[in-house]
Amino acid sequence: MGRVSAIATWTSAAVLLLAGCGSGGSSGVDNTSGPIKVGVLTALSGAAGAHYAGTESGVEARFAAYKAAGGKCAARGFDVVVADDQSTPQGALTAAQRLVQQEHVYAVLPVSTYFYGAGQYAGTGGRGTPFLGGAFDGGEQWFNPKYDNLFPAMSGTDYDRTATTLGAYWKKLGGTKVAVVSSNTPSAAKAAEGAALSAEHAGLARGYVNERVPFGSSDVGAIVLGIKKSGADVLYAPVIPETGFALATGLRRAGVEMKSILLATGYGADLLKSPPTLKVAQGVGFMTSYSPVEMNTEATRTWSAALKKYAKSASGIPSFSQAVGWISADLLIYGLEKAGCTASQEKLMSALRADKSWTAGGLFPKPADFANKGTYSVGGPGDCTFVSILKDEKFVPDPQGSPACGEQIPDVKVTVK
């Protein structure tokens, strides 16, 4: 579904909903006793379902680890309710409505590519409920100044802006011309265009650009030919891993040597379990806004051990959705400890708005600033991203990207034609 048709669909539904419910806005959830009811909005079915299979386990593992550590608010307990976005914007809207209006959750943790479909509702009809989650869907709700109940636990990206991060990274690798290939979702298309602008800012030339690839497509023959003809030597591809691996395989078969093939997702244990995938993904770089466990810091060691114990992860390496689920739950825990274990929803949100010290337990290199929306456009706080290269059967942190950080490029607006 394209952006225009998606917006038309969910805007119409949201308008009807608001007309029927009145101004509303405060869910009035009782948080004085008993377990804290937490809604998780993610894909359980549809094209993106398989890629979000780890969301719930990541959330539950964070809560279990918190209880085991005797956390300040752990005695309350957490009841998790999962709602399916069905891999569509309309599905995300329906799921958000269900969690707020029917399940009466205390907070919603959105881990969804299609959350932009629920964005207007979340900031208006659902404005009394905190939404804390992965802000990688490209929705404007995350940096709308009127929607002060939305907190980006991961990403928090203003895709209309770009930073020096990726261009400077490729420059260090000796790159001279960039190719960008993205899925036809709002976040992916703008992320790709932002990367091209970052590369140009660093002195690289613009090569092949395709920001309209159907979600999940592996038909990349024409794309590979286009990259080869363009002479590009670095590639950024915000696509699902299968599409990215098809690109890497096609480029190798075409005899194209790239200084960098960088994917926005794909880091995680799932990749290491598949020998065929390991073969085609050799040398590919994977971005994460959080420290990969291979960094072997105190924070990553604690995280990895918890995933092994509570999420039944054999390797202790999180999948993308598992990581977003864990980090989103961590932000909720952090807010509760700041505001008080029985804090109202508004008190929780007030505490987070004023805070400038949350780093997801040390997984981010710089703290988030929830008072300033859209303050970065790549990775996480500080426009920082970590790059891990697949070598043999391991992810190896790239010395040039552990992390790679940058700053906003002024007077540059990202637009996709």
Query: Could you report the per-residue pLDDT of 227-283, keeping only the tens digit for each?
Result: 999 999 999 999 988 999 999 999 999 999 999 999 988 899 888 888 988 999 999
For residues 374 and 300, give the distance between their C-alpha atoms in angstroms, rounded to a whole number: 26
**Do residues 276 and 313 both lie within one domain?**
no
| Residue 210 tokens, joined | 């395709």
pTM of structure:
0.85
pLDDT-derived band of residue 82, with 50, 70 and 90 as boundaries? very high
**Do residues 256 and 397 both lie within one domain?**
yes
Is pLDDT of 94 > 60? yes
Query: Which one is predicted more confidently, 266 or 166?
Result: 166
pLDDT-derived band of residue 199, with 50, 70 and 90 as boundaries? very high
CA distances from 315 to 101, 307, 309, 311, 368 (A): 39, 8, 11, 11, 28
Q: What range does the domain containing 191 cover? A: 165-288+385-401
**Do residues 170 and 251 both lie within one domain?**
yes
375 in any annotated domain: no
82 in any annotated domain: yes
**Do residues 283 and 323 both lie within one domain?**
no
Q: Find the mean pLDDT for residues 100-126.
A: 97
**Do residues 91 and 211 both lie within one domain?**
no
pLDDT-derived band of residue 132, with 50, 70 and 90 as boundaries? very high
> What CA dihedral angle connects 105, 108, 114 and 117, to 10 degrees?
60
**Do residues 23 and 138 both lie within one domain?**
yes
95 in any annotated domain: yes
Task: State the total domains in the chain.
Answer: 2
Domain holding 87: CATH number? 3.40.50.2300
Diameter of the chain measured on Cα atoms: 64
**Do residues 259 and 310 both lie within one domain?**
no
pLDDT-derived band of residue 156, with 50, 70 and 90 as boundaries? low
**Do residues 343 and 395 both lie within one domain?**
no
**Do residues 13 and 146 both lie within one domain?**
yes
